Amino acid sequence: MDYEQLGFKCGIEIHQQLDTDRKLFCHCPVDLVDENADGKFERHLNVVAGEAGEKDKAAEAEALRSRKYVYKHYSRNNCLVEADEEPPHDISQQALDTALTFARMVNADIVPEIQVMRKMVVDGSNTSGFQRTMMLGLGGKIKTEYGSVKIEDIELEEESAGIHEKNSEEAIYDLNRLGVPLIEIGTDASIQNPEHAREVALKLGMLLRSTGKARRGLGTIRQDVNVSIEEGARVEIKGFQDVKNIDELIRLEVERQKNLVELGKELENAEVVGDNVTHLFEDTENQIISTVLENDGAVYALKLPGMTGKMKQKISGDKYLALELVDYAKSQGVQGILHTDEDLEKYDLVEEFRKVSDVFDKKDEDVIAVIAAERKQAKTAAQEVLKRAEMLYTGEIPEETRNAEQNFTSSYMRPLPGAARMYPETDIAPIRIKDEKVKEIDRNLPETLEEKKNRLEAEIGDQLASQITNSRKIGLFNKFEGSVQKKDLANYIVNTLPRLESEGLDVSNQDAEKILDSFSKKEIEKAHLEEASRLAAEGSDNPVDEVLESQVSDEKIEEAVRDVISSKVAMIEDQGLRAQGALMGEILKDIDADGSRVAPVLQKFLEEAVNE
């Protein structure tokens, strides 16, 4: 595919949660674990006009669905700030420093005065109806294989509440995640092709992890992709988590836009018509529709001229054309659409569709599509689907926000949000960033993981270097790199700890640090690292002491050395000091001690024996 010729434009936005001591504007911890909620409360969202006086399109779309929002709260991770019942606390200095550090790593300019803003939230993912955000860096860039890519802006903001469950009446959110610090980075639209986007996303992820304060694991980093082709339209695909496959996501979106443009050229201009056809379904045998009608439902039908044979046409990966329309119905809480391009016999609807076809004067090449739902829902869904269907005939692609799916396709979520959505946060004073502060950040910029990997390759080998720089426990490595043999340290982190984990023995970071501390002070030996860690994971309060108690005593070692020397007299007479290696092997068969403790004892006694 020639992306340049297609007029491909693409920028990405990365959202990375931070692993700080506390949340951005309160003192709750950010370590989130699966646990049961301690309670819940409800809120309703009202659309209010922004400062510019116009209502946000996306907010209106959300309000059209008139949902109730339910928030589950967790006492360990939540206080009154997340419930919007207490003003924000002061900002987490650690989060701010991390964001400033990242900004300087990509050579962005730091704004001298940071103004915290309230960004309007349209989907209920924040109890207050807004998200606190602050722009702190501008005009950075990173180098890539395809030249440099601009980082337009860097923001520090509050993570939203996680969606737990969503249906047509209510959306249920988990509040534990709300308020976790989040760095948002936006590139300009100069990304040249899908492969390039992947490179940019991976590089930004690597740089974020290099700060040592990036959270790791499922959902801790998300990518939004802005993509368009010249004849298409700007589409924002949200919430993609599988960075290694971001190229595939983009490829499929380009394919979708290209196919829809082509379809528009192929179809003759025609009018899509729709109407309420509930009366034609009054005697239906179809279970679903009769149930809908019994519950104050309605049936709407649309005629899509010239669409026969096209509804099942693939337009993006496995996604076929009908789903472009189904997504719009679903956005109104409707299950789906029934249409004449599928087998109606299996739905027991042949007769009903014949009546509808007569009313609409359907020709062979026309498709009749039917929506059945609660009266109001059916009507808005039919209107939305009709609007979307009309665009198929002109090849116009709607500008919209789409949701990334598991199979790298995407589905319609809501219209693109407009610009009228920010206003200053009056509860927090602007934050001055002095030149001195920026200089201090510059003096302390971390080595990037890429640089670290290159440096370590010579010292501990390519494989270990790559494993340790990709490890979630790289922080442990950084901490002890200067005081422990790097190879031993890396092996402990990427081999010993995961091995224990696979046995169900999770060694906490604090325990691992304690054990490595004893190791660095030579209180315990390399051979004891695993045993001490095992004991710690099994709940021992003092794994180091326990391991020392079970350690072979100096007396035992001396005894074992004497035994072997007296039993190998002939060998020692024959080989002299060269017998040391073989003798060592014999001794270690006998006792469970570290070779480094045995060696000096053996050497001393062997020299004595040889000199006798």
Pick the closer one to Zn ion by CB: 82 or 384: 82
Build a one-symbol-per-residue string for 38-77: x at contacts with Zn ion by CB under 5 A, - elsewhere.
----------------------------------------
Contact between 438 and Zn ion by CB under 5 A: the answer reads no
The DSSP symbol for 445 reads: P
Helix locations, 471-523, DSSP H: 474-480, 486-491, 497-502, 509-520
Q: Give the whole-angstrom CA distance, residue 452 versus residue 299.
A: 63
Contact between 206 and Zn ion by CB under 5 A: the answer reads no
Question: Least distance from C-beta 220 to Zn ion, angstroms?
Answer: 19
Pick the closer one to Zn ion by CB: 26 or 204: 26
Contact window for Zn ion (CB under 5 A) among 37-45, 80-88, 222-230, 268-276: 80-88
Contact between 91 and Zn ion by CB under 5 A: the answer reads no
Count of residues that bind Zn ion according to CB under 5 A: 5
Contact between 83 and Zn ion by CB under 5 A: the answer reads no
Pick the closer one to Zn ion by CB: 81 or 117: 81
AA identity, residue 508: S
Q: What angle do CA 85, 87, 90 make, to 5 degrees?
A: 145
Question: Least distance from C-beta 296 to Zn ion, angstroms?
Answer: 43
Residue in 6, 30, 81, 108 binding Zn ion, rule: CB under 5 A: 81
The DSSP symbol for 296 reads: T
Question: Least distance from C-beta 20 to Zn ion, angstroms?
Answer: 13
Instruction: Determine which helix (DSSP H) or strand (DSSP E) holds 452, and give its type and residue range.
Output: helix 449-460
Q: At what angle do helices 93-105 and 194-210 cross, to 10 degrees?
A: 130
Contact between 161 and Zn ion by CB under 5 A: the answer reads no
Question: Least distance from C-beta 142 to Zn ion, angstroms?
Answer: 34
Question: Least distance from C-beta 198 to Zn ion, angstroms?
Answer: 36
Pick the closer one to Zn ion by CB: 427 or 608: 427
Q: What angle do CA 85, 130, 376 make, to 5 degrees?
A: 105
The tokens for 353 are: 């569709």
Residue in 47, 70, 79, 591 binding Zn ion, rule: CB under 5 A: 79
Q: Which of residues 404-433 bind Zn ion (CB under 5 A)?
A: none
Question: Least distance from C-beta 127 to Zn ion, angstroms?
Answer: 11
Q: SS3 letters for 537-567?
A: HCCCCCHHHHHHHCCCCHHHHHHHHHHHHHH
Pick the closer one to Zn ion by CB: 79 or 202: 79
Contact between 175 and Zn ion by CB under 5 A: the answer reads no
Question: Least distance from C-beta 128 to Zn ion, angstroms?
Answer: 13
End-to-end CA distance of the chain: 83
Contact between 587 and Zn ion by CB under 5 A: the answer reads no
Question: Least distance from C-beta 26 to Zn ion, angstroms?
Answer: 3
Q: Which of residues 227-286 bind Zn ion (CB under 5 A)?
A: none
DSSP bridge partners of 147: 144
Build a one-symbol-per-residue string for 2-41: x at contacts with Zn ion by CB under 5 A, - elsewhere.
------------------------x-x-------------
Question: Least distance from C-beta 38 to Zn ion, angstroms?
Answer: 13
Pick the closer one to Zn ion by CB: 159 or 511: 159
Instruction: Please list, in sequence order, all residues whose beta carbon lies within 8 angstroms of the beta carbon of residue 275, skipping any fewer than 6 positions away.
Output: 300, 301, 359, 360
**520-523: long-range contacts, CB 8 A cutoff, minimum separation 24:** 520/480, 520/483, 520/484, 523/548
Pick the closer one to Zn ion by CB: 79 or 433: 79
> In the chain, how long is the greatest CA-to-CA distance?
117
Question: Least distance from C-beta 79 to Zn ion, angstroms?
Answer: 3
Pick the closer one to Zn ion by CB: 26 or 507: 26
- Report yes or no: 263 and 396 within 8 Å, Cβ to Cβ: no
Question: Least distance from C-beta 161 to Zn ion, angstroms?
Answer: 12
Instruction: Please choose, from the candidates 164, 158, 157, the residue with its C-alpha nearest in 3D space to the C-alpha of residue 40.
Output: 164
Contact between 100 and Zn ion by CB under 5 A: the answer reads no
Contact between 535 and Zn ion by CB under 5 A: the answer reads no
Contact between 180 and Zn ion by CB under 5 A: the answer reads no
The tokens for 529 are: 């690292």
Collapsing DSSP states into helix, strand and coil, what is residue 419?
coil
Contact between 325 and Zn ion by CB under 5 A: the answer reads no
Q: SS3 letters for 42-101?
A: EEECCCCCCCCCCCCHHHHHHHHCCCEEEEEECCCCCCCCCCCCCCCCCCCHHHHHHHHH
What CA–CA distances, in Å, run from 14 to 144, 242, 329?
Answer: 17, 12, 30
Pick the closer one to Zn ion by CB: 28 or 536: 28
Contacting positions for Zn ion (CB under 5 A): 26, 28, 79, 81-82
